[in-house]
């Protein structure tokens, strides 16, 4: 991996977890701690992170948590279309899982005032607050370690919450997906949680805007066969549509 590629992945991880230690980054990327410190020096010089003893944290993360805002607010028009499409697959009486993320947050917003009798399980604090006061919606939260940039709970404790549960539908987020890399995420800590969610759900809908298709993040959860449907927007390239079709992956396009 080239230095600029590694720095990009480090920044993606910090945008997901909020902070990281030099020793852990060196282990993840299989380079020396000196190399990681040089990477962090460059990212700090670019005004993206703030170094601290033994590691670094994402710049402005305190403001994001204080304002309860998500870091990733790109392509909101696409995410709103996807969220609206998802509502077609949510029925009265359903028990659903809403993963943390900006697209799933849009789903939560569109569930407000819908008079649906639902049980919503989530690891996202912002989603719990969006739906917590809605009449007819019961909100259940996982436990786990708090990740400031995504306002979510993660790690083994969050994953353990789903053991023994059986829900109708999961709306799962991702950072990138491709036939080769499968479902990918910036943070390894999230993998056990995503897998536990999938195991608990009868049907898994992957919600991802078209800019994430054909891209990959640092850590792979597994093959696309883990999911039942992909819901994306009309910006998805024809070659990717054909690739999913050829591999019998169900694609739903929100328009």
Residue 7, domain CATH: 1.10.10.10
Q: What is the pLDDT of residues 77-123, one digit of tens each?
A: 999 999 999 999 999 999 999 999 999 999 999 999 876 799 999 99
For residues 51 and 154, state if they share a domain: no
pTM across the whole model:
0.84
- Residue 69, pLDDT > 70, answer no
Whether 64 is in a domain gets the answer: no
Give the model's confidence band at 66: pLDDT under 50 very low, under 70 low, under 90 confident, else very high: low
Amino acid 237: pLDDT: 92
For residues 29 and 141, state if they share a domain: no
- Residue 16, pLDDT > 80, answer no
For residues 98 and 221, state if they share a domain: yes
DSSP letter string over the chain? --HHHHHHHHHHHHHHHSEEEHHHHHHHHTS-HHHHHHHHHHHHHTTSEEEETTEEEETTHHHHHHHT--S--TTHHHHHHHHHHHGGG--TT-EEEE-SSHHHHHHHHHHTT----EEEEESBHHHHHHHTT-TTEEEEE---EEETTTTEEESHHHHHTTTT--EEEEEE--SEEETTTEEEES-GGGHHHHHHHHHHEEEEEEE--GGGBT---SEEEE-GGG-SEEEEETTS-HHHHHHHHHTT-EEEEE-
Q: What is the pLDDT of residues 116-154, one digit of tens each?
A: 799 999 999 999 999 998 989 999 999 999 988 889 999
Could you tell me the residue range of the domain that residue 32 belongs to? 3-59
Question: Domain total for the chain?
Answer: 2
Give the model's confidence band at 238: pLDDT under 50 very low, under 70 low, under 90 confident, else very high: very high
For residues 39 and 92, state if they share a domain: no
């Amino acid at each position: 991996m080239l230095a600029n590629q590694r720095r990009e992945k480090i920044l993606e991880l910090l945008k997901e977890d909020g902070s990281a230690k030099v020793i852990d980054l060196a282990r993840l990327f299989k380079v020396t701690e000196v190399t990681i410190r040089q990477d962090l020096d460059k990212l700090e010089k670019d005004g993206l992170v703030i170094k601290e003893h033994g590691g670094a944290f994402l710049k402005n993360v305190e403001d994001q948590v204080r304002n309860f805002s998500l870091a990733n607010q790109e392509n909101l028009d696409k995410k709103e279309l996807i969220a609206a499409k998802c509502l077609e697959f949510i029925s009265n009486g359903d028990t659903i899982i809403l993963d943390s993320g900006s697209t799933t947050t849009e789903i939560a917003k569109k569930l407000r005032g819908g008079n649906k009798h639902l049980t919503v399980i989530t690891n996202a604090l912002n989603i719990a607050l969006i739906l917590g006061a809605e009449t007819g919606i019961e909100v259940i939260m996982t436990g786990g370690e708090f990740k400031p940039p995504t306002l979510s709970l993660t790690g083994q404790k969050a994953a353990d919450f789903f053991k023994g549960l059986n829900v109708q539908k999961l709306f799962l987020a991702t950072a990138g997906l491709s036939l080769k890399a499968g479902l990918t995420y910036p943070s390894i800590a999230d993998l056990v949680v995503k897998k536990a969610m999938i195991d608990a759900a009868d049907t898994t809908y992957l919600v991802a805007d078209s800019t994430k298709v054909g891209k990959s993040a640092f850590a792979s959860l597994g093959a696309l066969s883990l999911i039942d449907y992909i819901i994306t927007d009309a910006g998805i390239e024809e070659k990717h549509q054909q690739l999913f079709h050829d591999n019998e992956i169900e694609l739903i396009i929100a328009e």
